[in-house]
Amino acid sequence: MFKAANTSQVQHWLGRTIILAVSVLSVLLLAGCAGSNKVNNNDKTVIYNGANYNLSNVKQINPKISGKLSDTNTVNLLDADEKQIEAYLKEFQTIYVRMALNFDEQEMLYRASSVSKWSDYSEMLSGFEEAIKQINALLADKKKQQLKLK
């Protein structure tokens, strides 16, 4: 004859197995979710000459290059070419050049110095243009948050 299994023991064993399976499944699901809960912080910061410039909410970045020709005469050199710079240098011998970036209302002075020949100005300008490229790359990169300009 067959001896019937105790149904309460089978139900008890089945209940424990289901609880164990649900527990293991829950732990695996929670572990999978934990890695995807990254909070992306879009704060973009430029560090230059010991100052921090937060670009997170900046709407416009405008380069500014000015040249002081004499005590009273300052000109915009943003679109000046070699011919113009050399004409100013021929007339005034030196130009005090100031290169800056305006982040909305905040200004970052990049370089300011006197130049007496085109090659000095050209070197300053290429460094300024490289800094602008690096800042644009920072803003385009979703993962990068900070730039230290040299």
45-62 pLDDT, tens per residue? 999 988 999 888 888 889
The residues pairing with 111 across neighbouring beta strands, listed in sequence order, are 99
Output the pLDDT for position 130. 95
**Domain limits at 12?**
1-38
103, 56: one domain = yes
Question: Looking at the whole model, is its pTM more than 0.75?
Answer: no
26, 75: one domain = no
d(CA 92, CA 86): 10
DSSP letters spanning 56-109: TT---EEEEEEEE-SSS-EEE-TT--HHHHHHHHHHHS-EEEEEEEEETTEEEE
The number of distinct structural domains making up the chain is 2
Looking at residues 18-27, what average pLDDT do you find?
65
CA 86 vs CA 67, 74, 96, 127, 132: distances in Å = 13, 16, 14, 19, 24
Output the pLDDT for position 72. 79
The least confident of 4-8, 83-87, 89-93, 113-117 is: 4-8
Does pLDDT of 29 surpass 70? no
